[in-house]
Structure 1
Amino acid sequence: MKLIAENVFQIPLLPRNSINCYVIDDILIDAGIRSSANNIFRALKGKKITKHALTHAHADHQGSSSVVCNTLNIPLWTSEPEKENAESGNVTDEYPNKKHLIARFQRKYWAGGGLKVSKILKEGDTVGSFTVIETPGHSRGHISFYREKDRVLIVGDTLVNMNLVTTVPGLHHPPAIFTTDKKRNISSIKKLFALNPKILCFGHGPVLIDNGELERFMRKIH
């Protein structure tokens, strides 16, 4: 685990930060793909985790959720629109083209089993020292997590900080083939920008200590 801020840790699950999950306080945020469980358990060794929350229930974020929750005997929290997919494990059904080769690959090799959701998260709820921000678009019920005191933002996939083909770092919209509503996602990006975040933690790409990168990105989408 890599310390990002007070009680905030990044767990890179694939090389070059291409898939990440995070620990905030005693809560695991996201859980990578199905084969990520052992990496997560190694990273968490000696640290008590009491809850698991998802930014969204896509295959590269809930892949190890059921294993982690069952092994650690902890509850799963999601937003209301993500609950059905998280509980069924049908986590590629929302993709614009769920029959796409990559979608079929993710469903077969990345997606984890379904698990009962114990708590529904909504705008303004507290998750540890963070606040839930509803950021739909990439998925119907995507949420982010923000801590105002030091402006740390868990972005999920509202934005990605790498080219997912070349792995070169840089801010991008999430891939269209996995994004339910691109216009709505742009509105969510603007909502997060208005929070004036300083440290941005992404599902894909390295953590960004913002020195104007986000503002420059925003100029391109207005």
Structure 2
Amino acid sequence: MSTRSVAKAYFDAIAERDVDAMVGFWKPGGREFIRGQVDTTAPDGVRGFFTALFGAVPDLDLQVQDMVVDKGRAAVRWRATGTFCGETPFNGLEPNGARLELEGCDVLQIEDDLIVANDAFSDSMAFARQIGMMPAEGSPAEARAFKLFNRASRVGTKLGAAAPEEIADGVWIIRGGFPQRAMNVYLLRDGDGVLVFDGGIKAMTKAVAAAGARLGGITRLVLGHEHPDHRGIAPGLGVPVYCHADGKADAETDGGEHYIDWSKLRQPTRTVMPRLLKMWDGGPVQIAGTVAEGDDVAGFDVVHIPGHAPGQIALWRASDRLALVSDCFYTLDINTGRHGPARVPHRAFNQDREQAKASIRKIAALEPAAAWAGHADPVTGDVKAQLEHAADTT
């Protein structure tokens, strides 16, 4: 049979609501991907989906409007009508008697007279409107829904993160977290786009994505380290994620929680912080590649600064003596929320406190003009003296 003949016969079987005949056109294991509805395989997945569809819309009438064939592919545009009045739910929705008029397109891939894949597209919004799940187009109810959505979007944007602020040539900071805006994510000019350094918290994802898009698009994300409050945006950005090799295992699993010692925190922080960390975390990250000491990252040199976390890195730009240091030091007291001078990160979160102090001294030796951390405020002025003091006394 030709590709056109197979596609026509398959849609004839759909029009006749003959599930057995439909399934017979599929190669076992073939993928049925109906966008927004189902991603399954033949034969059982195809049988289950269409059995449920015909059970919910017993008078479904599907007519082919057009077909374009190219070698082993057939694009089929169709129109379906029917009544959502059957005895069984469809995709979790109970039939309510609504009249349906829907359009869509299936792109079938056919090999040896069998369907091996189908990418199908239908108007899910029209379906939702027609069954009453969404307001009718142009209705007062739709206008009210849009108003509420827009209001929530504005509030969510304000709560998620502040607008990007340029802190140096080709470097922007986005401050997130409610209410103190103490979570820092950095955007670095990287060709025509920007590279993200440090992964912040999950609630910042949309703000970082939007800022990156306005600056030419995000090229990749480089984690400052692998803790949950520094990888939060990573899964949601949809870009390659890099980290130091020593942090890869934790980035891809629990984010280093296995060495956090909550008992070292005072109450109520000891009770609250584990819950906050889970809320901030975007979850395990698939690492696309690693960076190492001395690598060039968007015009900065990678500096390995372990101790707080095994894979923690800073980015150093000698031309203007700018250091982006993740959690090399804190300028925020985690128990009180008060801002202050640089100090060693809290002992509850450090994998190796003495190594963390050595890393602070390593950054101090670079004599930065400014050192911007993963939380709260930068250290400016006599940065070297302040960091040496932090390593020696805190």
Paired residues for 1:77-156 under 5 Å: 77-88=242-253, 90-97=254-261, 101-102=271-272, 104-156=274-326
Q: Distance in 1 between matches of 2:180 and 2:273?
A: 22
For 2:387 and 2:360, the matched residues in 1 are separated by: 10
Which has more radius of gyration? 2
Cα 1:28–1:217 shift into 2, 3 Å:
closer
Question: What does the per-residue CA deviation read over 1:116-173, in whole Å, with 9 as the maximum and x for residues that have no partner?
Answer: 2111111001101000000000001111110001011011001122233233242121
* Residue 192 in structure 1 maps to residue 352 in structure 2: no
Equivalent position amino acid for 1:58 in 2: H
The worse-fitting range, judged by mean Cα deviation, of 24-33 and 125-134 is: 24-33
- Paired residues, number: 216
Relative to structure 1, is the Cα distance of residues 51 and 135 closer, same or farther in structure 2, using a 3 angstrom cutoff? same
CA distance in 1, matches of 2:201, 2:365: 31
Q: Is the 2:243–2:287 contact (alpha carbons within 8 Å) kept by the matching residues of 1?
A: yes
Q: Which runs of 5+ in 1 are unaligned?
A: none
Report the equivalent of 1:58.
Answer: 227
Asked whether the equivalents of residues 17 and 206 of structure 1 are also in contact (C-alpha less than 8 Å), the reply is no
Shift of 1:114: 2.0
Structure of higher RCO (CA pairs closer than 8 Å, 6+ residues apart)? 1
Percent of pairs with identical residues = 25
**Equivalent-residue separation in structure 1 for 2:293 and 2:390 (angstroms):** 27
Alignment of 1:168-187 (within 5 A): 168-187=339-358
TM-score calculated relative to the size of structure 1: 0.89
Query: Which residue identity lines up with residue 233 of structure 2 in the other structure?
Result: S
Of residues 182, 195, 199 in structure 2, which corresponds to 1:31? Answer: 199
4+ runs deviating over 4 angstroms: none
Tell me the distance in 2 between the aligned counterparts of 1:119 and 1:102: 34
- Normalising by structure 2, report the TM-score: 0.52
**AA matched with 1:21:** V
Match of 1:202 in 2: 373
Separation in 1, partners of 2:243, 2:236: 16
CA–CA separation in structure 1 for the residues paired with 2:232 and 2:319: 31
Matched, 1:159 2:329: yes
* 1:23 to 1:220, Cα distance in 2 relative to 1, 3 A: closer
Distance 1:220 1:63, change over 3 A: closer
Please state if 1:20 is matched with 2:184.
yes
Residue equivalent to 2:241 = 76
Give 1:153's aligned amino acid: A
Q: Which runs of 5+ in 2 are unaligned?
A: 1-163, 264-269
Structure 2 CA distance for partners of 1:3 and 1:185, relative to 1, 3 Å: same
Q: Partners in 1 of 2:318 and 2:293 — Cα distance?
A: 15
Cα separation, 2, equivalents of 1:98 and 1:217 = 26
Aligned residues: CA RMSD: 2.0
Are residues 19 and 107 of structure 1, via their aligned partners in 2, closer, same or farther at CA, if it must alter by over 3 Å?
Answer: closer
Amino acid at match of 2:220: K
The secondary structure found in structure 1 opposite 2:214 is coil
* Structure with a larger share of its residues in strand: 2
Structure 1 residue 39, shift from structure 2 partner: 2.4
CA contact under 8 A between 1:160 and 1:172: conserved in structure 2?
yes
**Deviation of the 1:105 alpha carbon:** 1.5
Determine the structure 1 residue equivalent to 2:105: none
CA contact (8 A) 2:240 2:288 kept: yes
Distance 1:132 1:102, change over 3 A: farther
